[in-house]
Amino acid sequence: MSSATAERTQAARLPDGDVVAVLLTQHARIRDLFGTVREARGEGRKEAFDELRALLAVHEVAEELVVRPVAKRSAGEREAAARDHEEAEAAQVLEQLEGMDPDSPGFTEMLGEFEKAVGDHADHEESEEFPALMRDCTEDRRRAMGERLLMIERLAPTHPHSAVAGRPGALALTGPFAAMVDRVRDAVTR
C-alpha cells in the first residue's frame, strides 16, 4: 500500500487542479482519517468516522462520474468495471459501519477490513487508472477534469447509497436528490 506521504509528494509534482493531483491528495487524507478513526474513542471517533464517511462518499461519486468514463477508454473497460465494482462493495460496507456503534469490537474489526479494501482500491487506481490518464489526457484536460470533479463533490451525497454505487448512470440521476437529503440529515444530526 502506498503511503499518504508518497501520495502527497506525487500530487505536489503535478499542476494545481490536475485531477490526478486532487485524487492523490484525497487518497492521502482518507488514509490519514482511517488512522484517526482507528486511534480515537468515543465522540472523537464518531466525528472522525463521519468525516471519513463523507469524504469517501463524495470522492467515489465524483470518481465514478468524472474519472471512470475516461478510464474506460484509457485504462480499459475491464479496469474501470473492476473499480466500479469495488466502489459498490465499499458503499455497502460503509452503510453497515454507519449503523454500528463506533466503539464496538465489531466496528473496529470491520473498519480494519474496510481500510485494507479501500487502500487496495486506491493502489489499483494509482497504478492502473492514473498512469493511463497521465498518458492519454493533456494537462489542460486533466485540469478541466479536476475542476469538474471538485464541482461534483460539492453536490454529491455525503452518505453511501449502495443501490446506485458503481453505476454512474444511476448516480447521475439520483445523486443530486440524495445529496440534498444527506446534507439536511447532516445538519440536523450535528
pLDDT, one tens digit for every residue, the chain (190 residues): 469 999 999 999 999 999 999 999 999 999 999 999 999 999 999 999 999 998 998 898 889 889 999 999 999 999 989 998 898 888 889 889 999 999 999 999 999 999 999 999 999 999 999 999 999 999 999 999 999 999 988 887 776 655 545 555 545 545 444 444 444 345 445 5
Q: Rounded to whole angstroms, how far apart are CA atoms 27 and 93?
A: 18
- 54, three cell numbers: 463523507
